[in-house]
């Protein structure tokens, strides 16, 4: 069996903050209920047609 890599403090360096923010944002999107996501998707389509 393979061992999982251990979390190191170096991953908290400011160089990785944008990555952590992106992961957090994606996690928040996954937590949203499907109807909310579908409304956002429809709004995105309308905005793309307007721009």
pLDDT at 43: 92
Query: How much is the pTM?
Result: 0.60
| Per-residue pLDDT tens over the stretch 1-51 | 788 889 889 988 999 999 999 999 999 999 999 999 899 899 999 999 988
- What are the boundaries of each domain within the chain? 15-50
* Those residues with Cβ within 8 angstroms of residue 30's Cβ, 6 or more apart along the chain or in another chain: none
The whole-number pLDDT of residue 31 equals 95
The pLDDT assigned to 5 comes to 87
Q: What is the pLDDT of residue 33?
A: 95
Cβ distance 29 to 37 under 8 Å?
yes
């Amino acid at each position: 069996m393979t061992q999982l890599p251990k979390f190191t403090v170096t991953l908290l360096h400011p160089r990785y903050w944008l990555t952590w923010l992106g992961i957090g944002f994606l996690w928040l999107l996954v937590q949203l209920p499907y109807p909310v996501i579908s409304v956002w998707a429809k709004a995105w389509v309308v905005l793309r047609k307007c721009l």
